Amino acid sequence: MSETLQLTVTGMTCGGCENAVTTSLKRVNGVEEVSASFKANAVDVTFDATKVTPAVIRTTIEGLGYEVG
Ligand SMILES: [Cu+2]
């Protein structure tokens, strides 16, 4: 079943950052939809809770050098 996670992410400064976050998250098994906005400091993720946890999603973003609030 799909769940949605709305994260506040700081450190994204341009469209390239949005793309980096989106591309990396979509590679994670279980991630279905990603919407990233550097202007809003927001990353919304729809995911299959039987395949991936919010912790993995957060760690993936942090691994790119951004801060998840
Ligand atoms: Cu950027």
Q: How far is CA 53 from CA 21, 56, 57, 63, in A?
A: 17, 5, 7, 16
Ligand 1 (ion): residues with CB under 5 Å are 13-14, 16-17
Helix, strand, coil fractions of the chain, as percent rounded to 5: 30, 35, 30
Q: Tens digit of pLDDT for each residue in 26-56?
A: 999 999 999 999 999 999 999 999 999 999 9
Cα 35 to middle of ligand 1, angstroms: 15
Q: Are 68 and 61 in contact (CB under 8 A)?
A: yes
Rounded Cα gap, residues 33 and 49, in angstroms? 13
Two structure tokens written together for 5: 């996670």
Cα 32 to middle of ligand 1, angstroms: 23
Quick check: 6 pLDDT over 90? Answer: yes
pLDDT at 29: 98
Beta-carbon count within 10 A of 60 CB = 19
